[in-house]
Amino acid sequence: MATNESISIFSSASLAVEYVDSLLPENPLQEPFKNAWNYMLNNYTKFQIATWGSLIVHEVLYFLFCLPAFLFQFIPYMKKYKIQKDKPETWENQWKCFKVLLFNHFCIQLPLICGTYYFTEYFNIPYDWETMPRWYMLLARCFGCAVIEDTWHYFLHRLLHHKRIYKHIHKIHHEFQAPFGMEAEYAHPLETLILGTGFFIGIMLLCDHVILLWAWVTIRLIETIDVHSGYDIPLNPLNLIPFYAGSRHHDFHHMNFIGNYASTFTWWDRLFGTDSQFTAYIEKMKKVEKKTE
């Protein structure tokens, strides 16, 4: 009975979204995107698209999304939004981070990306334009991937902080107490594999088109670079997402090496009380701000 009610609710919600979608004006970018997509399919093999296409998407988006926070360090006005003002970025740390990133991206992640083609072939994941899901279905599946990844990340990240494990693996990621955007994937190779598994679980369960791979990569990179940016920007649209953790939440984790273990949402930390120190810290900061007004 409950299952039928759930199906009915989801069906009604889907119909409502489809109705709203039908009222929206036609997307002027849809036709150019369709032409570009079909050009890609006609000129490159599935292996090239799944492998080199995925690599290009990851590399271009990663460093593109890192660019704003990187530029902030040169803009005096943005210093007031830096969370740990007493720990500015240094060229030495950023160069060290960049070199480790190149190793992780091309020696750890690229071999994994090479398996993308075989994954899509084994599960018959389509590439064609005709079966590409609508934007709202794509967002819904990306949200599902985010919930799955966040759950995996919370428990495995918390495990990596165990005193017997921490110094061997996760300590590398905490080398920079004040995080900066490019540091998001600065980690021990084992950590890249362990925490990165959460990214692929959602894909294995929810992927119905190769576009979901790239959409989920995009959303995950936006999120992880944002929380590592080291800046709390007032009008950040990501803060409109319910239960979104944000940069201040994760910055506290780097500052204190404890609590706030989730990657995207706050519910697991709230449920297990691992955000209690962060909550107390925020309340203390609010009192200090009131006194200074």
Give 207-218 pLDDT, tens digit per residue: 999 999 999 999
Structure token digits, residue 176: 């920079």
To the nearest 10°, report the CA torsion of 173, 177, 178, 184.
10
Model's pTM, two decimal places? 0.89
CA distance 98 to 185: 10
Tell me which DSSP letter residue 228 carries: T
**Banded pLDDT at 18 (limits 50, 70, 90):** low
Summarize pLDDT for 27-79 with one digit per residue, the tens.
788 899 999 999 999 999 999 999 999 999 999 999 999 999 999 999 999 99
Residue 106 has pLDDT above 80, yes or no: yes
Q: Where are the domains of the chain?
A: 49-74+81-234
107-126, pLDDT tens digit by residue? 999 999 999 999 999 999 99
Picking from 36, 35, 70, 32, the residue whose alpha carbon sits closest to that of residue 53 is 36
Across the range 119-148, mean pLDDT stands at 95
CB 266 within 8 A of CB 239: no
pLDDT for 6: 47
pLDDT at 98 over 50: yes
Question: CA-to-CA distance for 49 and 39, rounded, in angstroms?
Answer: 12
